């Protein structure tokens, strides 16, 4: 008899090696290879090869294929539907990742509740909590879903038996790392298990048109735990973001086969669960200090929606040899670059100062359009002169000190007006074709010197 072949699988990237090594040659992670006997047999790949083939395969004419958009089913939680691109698509596989305790189970309990009304039966599989715990959460949320079935189980085969029996229209798996297939020997949560479980749910979703939501754990670095291939398998990847000390939660679509990626939904965690925030700009501006130097409001785009945030800067003379630069919510390197630009292009003697930049409300922004807001906030703190509280600014800043045009200028400008601002400093290049309301004064600037003049 042939001895079973042993394969070593990297738990970080999923690469397979014929022998153990200290460092994965594929992703460079140390000590991540784990022996895996199950992968050496052909079982997994043979099953996967026939993933969509229940019937004999035959080509279909393009015009005969039913469009999926008619089938899109909004669940009624507006912000959640928005990230999904307008509703839940039957047969889609959605992966939701986020830090522990951020509210993944809470959100999906609320979604399940709404889905039972729209779809019929929904199955909530939990490998982390007992049915009573889930019910307790449901009672806290004040929901009484008729048609929601709870299944505290981690064996994939037993879960599938229950799916056959109950025939739900949507399934929530909380979490994909706790489920394991008895066909594989490796431990739950290992690369091969996660891949197998996700692969099986993919087949289920596609073959029967069931919407499947997989909850995923995240690693210390914030990526979804398990193989990167997991993100390739699923149709949609959502990340749950938020700070422990703030109540708002942001769901971001980083991949979506059925809608725009980078769309966000904003919620507030309350004692009765997650509540959609209908006016997010208001949420991030509501504790803004007025008449204080170093505070500037800027308009950024989150998905297809404009969002006003307050950029705060504090410039103090340095106590140590090297100046400190600390940022929260914006990229530190970007700030260093803007500081060097300020020194060189407008002669602000700032390189020897400690500079701290913060986005109020704990939100992170990685859009170049915040540059102008950052620069003006720093200048305001440095000069110790406050910016008029009804003035907002946005624009990308280049190394020559030029202010460059940004996308969606009209949307941003209109949002500032809607939020009560009366003056908006924007890139000159955005002036042409700009649509805005009469009560707003719009100032187009070419470079930083113009912007500083316009604001002080
Ligand atoms: P949970 O959904 O269990 O997080 P996850 O599944 O992502 O680990 O949410 C846990 C947190 O949410 C917990 O700290 C309590 C809080 N919470 C509320 O503030 N209000 C509520 O109505 C509920 C159900 C939870
Ligand atoms: Mg949970």
| Residues 66-120 pLDDT 10s | 776 567 888 889 999 999 998 999 999 999 999 888 999 999 999 999 999 888 8
DSSP string, 121-188: -EEEEESSS-HHHHHHHHHHHT---TTEEEEE--BHHHHHHHHHHH--SEEEEE-TTT-B-TT--SPT
Residue 137, ligand 1, Cβ within 6 A:
yes
pLDDT for the residue numbered 49: 44
pLDDT given for residue 361 in this prediction: 85
DSSP H helices, 37-130, are 43-49, 78-83, 104-119
- What does the pLDDT look like over 54-78, one tens digit per residue? 556 789 898 888 776 567 888 889 9
| Edge-to-edge strands, sheet with 33-36 | 16-17, 7-10, 33-36
Burial 248-283 (b: 16+ CB within 10 A, else e): bbbbbbeebebbeeebbbbbbbeeebbeebeebbeb
Q: For position 2, what pLDDT does the model report?
A: 62
Expressed in angstroms and rounded, the spacing between residue 90 Cα and the centre of ligand 2 is 24
- 27 vs 314: which has the higher pLDDT: 314
In this structure, the residue with its CA closest to atom 22 of ligand 1 is 273
**What percent of the chain is predicted at pLDDT more than 70?**
93
Q: Is the pLDDT of residue 456 over 90?
A: no
Atom of ligand 1 nearest to the CA of 98: 7
Say what the pLDDT of residue 356 is. Answer: 96
439 in contact with ligand 1, CB cutoff 6 A: no
- Best of 106, 139, 225 to mutate for ligand 1, by most ligand atoms within 8 A of CB? 106
Pairing of strands 7-10, 33-36: antiparallel
| C-alpha distances out from residue 327 to 162, 316, 333, 356, 398, Å | 50, 14, 9, 6, 19
Q: Give the residue with greater pLDDT, 284 vs 41.
A: 284
Q: Which of 108-122, 241-255, 332-346, 391-405 has the lowest mean pLDDT?
A: 241-255
Q: Measured in angstroms, how far is the CA atom of residue 217 from the centroid of ligand 1?
A: 15
- Cα 329 to ligand 1 centre (Å): 24
Q: Which residues of 81-95 are buried (b: 16+ CB within 10 A; e: fewer)?
A: bbbbbbbbbbbbbbb
What's the pLDDT at 241?
87
Q: Scanning the structure block, which residue is given the tokens 């037993």? A: 158
> What secondary structure letter does DSSP report for 401?
S
Ligand 1 atom at minimal distance to the Cα of residue 104: 7
Q: At what angle do helices 332-346 and 448-455 cross, to 10 degrees?
A: 90
| Ligand 1 binding pocket includes 102 (Cβ within 6 Å) | yes
- Average per-residue pLDDT for the chain: 89
For the Cβ of 98 lying below 6 angstroms from any atom of ligand 1, the answer is yes
What backbone torsions phi and psi does residue 394 show, to the nearest 5 degrees? -150, 160
Helix H or strand E encompassing 340: helix 332-346
- Region 201-214: mean pLDDT is 94
Using DSSP, state whether 454 is helix, strand or coil.
Answer: helix
Return the beta strands (E) in 15-102 as ranges.
16-17, 33-36, 93-98
Question: Is 271 a pocket residue for ligand 1 (Cβ < 6 Å)?
Answer: yes
Q: From atom 1 of ligand 1, which residue's Cα is the shortest distance away?
A: 103
Q: What is the mean pLDDT of residues 228-252?
A: 87
pLDDT 10s digits, 250-304? 999 999 998 888 889 999 999 999 999 988 898 889 889 999 999 999 999 988 8
Cβ(232) to ligand 1 under 6 A? no
Ligand 1 contact, 228 CB (< 6 A): no
CB of 18 shorter than 6 A to ligand 1: no
Nearest to 254 by CA among 274, 273, 220, 231: 231
Helix (H, G, I), strand (E, B) or coil at 120: coil
Mean pLDDT of 338-364: 92
Given pLDDT bands bounded at 50, 70 and 90, which one contains residue 127?
Answer: very high
**Residue 436 pLDDT > 80:** yes
Question: Per-residue confidence at 38, pLDDT binned at 50, 70, 90?
Answer: low
Query: Residue whose CA is closest, atom 18 of ligand 1?
Result: 271
Ligand nearest to the CA of 175: 2
Structure confidence at residue 393 (pLDDT): 97
> Ligand 1 atom closest to Cα of 107?
2
| Cα R_g (the chain), whole angstroms | 26
| Averaged pLDDT, 192-218 | 92
Top mutation candidate among 101, 124, 173, 275 for ligand 1, by most atoms within 8 Å of CB: 101
CA distances from 118 to 72, 284, 302, 340 (A): 11, 33, 28, 56
The reply to whether ligand 1 has any atom less than 6 angstroms from the CB of 105 is: yes
How far does residue 106's CA lie from ligand 1's centre (Å)? 6
DSSP 3-state of 76: coil
pLDDT band at 43 (very low <50, low <70, confident <90, very high): very low
- Residue 227 confidence (pLDDT): 67
pLDDT band at 389 (very low <50, low <70, confident <90, very high): very high
Distance 172 CA to ligand 2 centre (A): 11
pTM of the model: 0.82
pLDDT of residue 391 exceeding 70, the answer is yes
Q: What residue owns the CA closest to ligand 1's atom 21?
A: 273
Q: 114: CA distance to ligand 1 center in Å?
A: 18
Q: Stretch 119-146: mean pLDDT, rounded?
A: 93
- DSSP labels for 222-291? SSBSS-THHHHHSSEEEEEE--TTSSEEEEEEEEETTS-TT-EEEEEEETTEEEE-S-HHHHHHTTPPSS
CA of 161 to the centre of ligand 1 (A): 30
What's the average model confidence in pLDDT over 46-58? 55
Residue identifier of the C-alpha nearest atom 13 of ligand 1? 101
Q: Which of 58, 424, 29 is nearest to 219 (CA)?
A: 29
Angle (deg, nearest 10), helices 371-383 and 448-455: 60
Say if ligand 1 is within 6 A of residue 249 CB: no
pLDDT higher than 60, residue 45: no
How many angstroms does the Cα of residue 220 sit away from the middle of ligand 1?
Answer: 20
Does ligand 1 come within 6 angstroms of the Cβ of 244? no
């Amino acid at each position: 008899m042939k001895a079973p072949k042993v394969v070593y699988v990297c738990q970080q990237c999923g690469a397979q090696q014929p022998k153990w090594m200290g460092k994965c040659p594929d992703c460079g992670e140390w000590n991540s290879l784990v022996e895996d006997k199950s992968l050496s047999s052909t079982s997994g790949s043979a099953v996967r090869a026939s993933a969509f083939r229940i019937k004999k395969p035959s080509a279909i004419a393009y015009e005969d294929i039913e469009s999926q958009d008619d089938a899109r089913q909004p669940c009624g939680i507006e912000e959640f539907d928005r990230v999904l691109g307008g509703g839940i698509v039957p047969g889609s596989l959605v992966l939701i990742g986020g830090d522990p305790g951020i509210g993944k189970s809470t959100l999906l309990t609320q979604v399940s509740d709404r889905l039972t009304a729209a779809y019929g039966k929904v199955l909530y599989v939990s490998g982390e909590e007992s049915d009573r715990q889930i019910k307790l959460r449901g009672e806290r949320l004040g929901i009484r879903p008729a048609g929601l079935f709870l299944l505290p189980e981690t064996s994939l085969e037993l879960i599938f038996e229950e799916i056959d029996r109950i025939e739900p229209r949507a399934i929530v798996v909380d979490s994909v790392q706790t489920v394991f297939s008895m066909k594989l020997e490796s431990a739950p949560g290992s690369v091969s298990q996660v891949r197998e479980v996700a692969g099986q749910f993919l087949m289920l979703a596609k073959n029967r048109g069931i919407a499947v939501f997989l909850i995923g754990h995240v690693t210390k670095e914030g990526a979804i735990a398990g193989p990167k291939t997991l993100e390739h398998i699923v149709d949609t990847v959502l990340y749950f973001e938020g700070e422990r000390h703030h109540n708002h939660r942001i769901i971001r679509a980083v991949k979506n086969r059925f809608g725009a990626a980078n769309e966000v939904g904003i919620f507030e965690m309350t004692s009765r669960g997650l509540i959609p925030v209908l006016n997010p700009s208001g949420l991030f501006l509501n504790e803004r200090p007025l008449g204080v130097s170093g505070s500037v409001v800027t308009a950024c785009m989150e998905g297809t929606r404009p969002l006003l945030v307050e950029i705060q800067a504090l410039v103090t003379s340095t106590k140590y040899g090297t100046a400190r630069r600390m940022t929260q919510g914006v990229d530190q390197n970007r700030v260093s670059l803007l500081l060097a630009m300020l020194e060189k292009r407008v002669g602000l003697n700032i390189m020897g100062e400690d500079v701290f930049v913060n986005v109020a409300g704990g939100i992170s922004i990685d859009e170049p359009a915040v540059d102008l807001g950052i620069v003006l906030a720093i200048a305001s703190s440095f000069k110790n002169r406050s910016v008029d509280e009804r003035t907002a600014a946005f624009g990308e800043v280049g190394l020559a000190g030029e202010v460059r045009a940004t996308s969606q200028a009209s949307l941003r400008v209109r949002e500032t007006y809607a939020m009560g601002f009366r003056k908006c400093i924007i890139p000159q290049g955005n002036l042409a074709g700009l649509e805005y309301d009469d009560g707003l004064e719009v100032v187009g600037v070419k470079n930083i010197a113009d912007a500083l003049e316009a604001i002080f």
